[in-house]
Amino acid sequence: MMLSRNGRKILIAPSILSADFLALGEEVREASSAGADLLHLDMMDGHFVPNLTFGPPVIEGLRKITDVPLEAHLMVEHPEIYLPELAQYGMHRVTVHWEASSHLHYVLSRIRELGMRAGVALSPATPVTMVSEILDMIDLVLVMTVNPGFGGQSFIPHSFEKIAAMRDLLDKRGASHVRLEVDGGIKPANIARVVDCGADTVVMGSAIFGDTPCEAVFRDIRKRLEENQ
Ligand code: DX5
Ligand code: ZN
C-alpha cells in the first residue's frame, strides 16, 4: 500500500472535468476499475469561477453507475443551496471554498448535519492559517495548486511550500483526522513530490482522462509512489 508521510493510505481522486462528457458513463467506469479511490466532481456556477460544469442531476446519474465514493468540489457561490440534493444523491463528502462562503462555520455544520464529510478548499492566494478556527469541523482540507476553474493548467510551484506548511499546521494542532488533498496540475511526474510535502489525497484530471489509457496512468502513479516509499 502506498502511504503518506503521516502513515495514511494515499487516495487518488480522478476529476471528471477532463473526461469526455459525451462518454461520461464509460469514462467513469474505466476510472473506477483502474483503481480510483474517490471520484472528484467539480461543480462550477459561472460566478465564483468563470466556467460552468454540471450540477446535481448529472451526479444523480453517476451515483448509479459506480460504487466509488463521490466527492463534490463546489466552486460555486452560496454552496449551502445544493447540500440537501447532494446528500440525497449519496455524496460521501463535500468541499466548499473558503473564499465563497461568508458563513463557513454554518455551511460546514450543515454538511455534517446532512450526514456527509466536510471539506474546505483554499485558493492559491489564501493563507493556510485560514483553517485554524474550524479544524474540528472538517474532515478534509483541499489546497488548490492552480487557480480554480479549469482543468489542464500548470501546477503553481509555490504550492510545494504551501502543502508543507499545511501539513505542519495540521500536525502541530494534532488534526490527524483531517485529510490533506491537493488539486490542480498534478501528473505522474510530480505526484511523489506533493506526497513528500505531506499530501495524502491527490486529485488528477487531465493526467487521468488524457490520451494515455486510465489503467496505464494508474500503473505509472503506483510505480512512482512505490519507488518513493
Ligand atoms: C480545477 C479543478 C480540478 C481540475 C484538475 O478548478 O478543481 O479538479 O479538474 O485538473 P488537472 O488535474 O488537469 O489540473
Ligand atoms: Zn477540483
Centroid of ligand 1 to alpha carbon of 116 (angstroms): 22
Instruction: Give me the half-sphere count of Cα atoms (radius 13 Å) on the Cβ side of residue 98.
Output: 22
Q: In tens digits, what is the pLDDT along the chain, a chain of 229 residues?
A: 689 988 999 999 999 999 999 999 999 999 999 999 999 999 999 999 999 999 999 999 999 999 999 999 999 999 999 999 999 999 999 999 999 999 999 999 999 999 999 999 999 999 999 999 999 999 999 999 999 999 999 999 999 999 999 999 999 999 999 999 999 999 999 999 999 999 999 999 999 999 999 999 999 999 999 998 8
Residues 6+ apart with CB under 8 A from 154: 146, 185
Catalytic residues: 42, 183
- What SS3 string covers 164-206? HHHHHHHHHCCCCCCEEEEECCCCHHHHHHHHHHCCCEEEECC
- List strands edge to edge, sheet with 179-183: 11-14, 201-204, 179-183, 140-144, 117-122, 93-97, 70-75, 39-44
Q: Considering every ligand atom, which ligand is closest to the CA of 191?
A: 1
pTM, rounded to two decimals: 0.98
